[in-house]
Amino acid sequence: MSITDLRDHNVTDNTTTRSAVEAFLGRMAEGDHDGIAELFAERIDWQLNWPAGGHPSVPWIRSRTGRADIAGHFRMLDAYHVPEKNDSSVTRILVDGTDAVVLGTLRQTVRATGVAYTSAFALHLTFEDGLITRYHIYEDSLAVADALTGG
């Protein structure tokens, strides 16, 4: 394969990946939990920047292995937060082939405590055949736990 072929192939991957990221973010903004789950592969590499065992105050923090488990994760996020007070934003989407990194800020309010929190985040996604196979999110997990416990 020539350098030109590689470059053209990467441009195609970048365009496809960017479109897939935008579809994912659009469904998140709409609160379309089942639609979000449809974008995930049957088996995924799922990682949240928390201790391996999760956190007792944050029930949605646990291992997820595939599509069947994804809609429940996003439903639980909505159940524990006040969606109309969500002011999260994406500041940048970086794409390299089948990988994408979404950078932004989470602004949420916990339903039970009324405590709002803000956290920068980085979300690393990998796509294969148009489906998400890697979902790694990095955020201020202490701010989330504190807000859930009223801290």
Count of Cβ atoms closer than 10 Å to residue 93 Cβ: 17
pLDDT attached to residue 20 = 94
pLDDT attached to residue 68 = 80
| Domain annotation for the chain: domains and CATH numbers | 3-148 (3.10.450.50)
Phi and psi at residue 4, to the nearest 5°: -65, -45
Residues whose CB falls within 8 Å of the CB of residue 64, separated by 6 or more in sequence, listed in order: 44, 46, 70, 73, 135
The mean pLDDT of the chain is: 85
Residue 61: pLDDT over 80: no
Query: What's the average model confidence in pLDDT over 15-24?
Result: 93
Query: What's the average model confidence in pLDDT over 57-77?
Result: 81
Buried b (16+ CB within 10 A) or exposed e, 54-81: ebeebebbeebeebeebbebbbbbeebb
Query: What's the average model confidence in pLDDT over 23-51?
Result: 89
94-143 per-position pLDDT tens digit: 999 999 999 999 999 989 889 899 999 999 999 998 899 999 999 887 78
CA angle 133, 147, 46 (to 5 degrees): 10
pLDDT attached to residue 65 = 78
Q: SS3 for 52-89, per residue? A: CCCECCECCCCCCCCHHHHHHHHHHHHHHECHHHCCCE
Record the tokens describing residue 85, joined without a space.
């007070």
pLDDT attached to residue 54 = 62
Residue 6: band (very low, low, confident or very high) from pLDDT cuts 50, 70, 90? very low
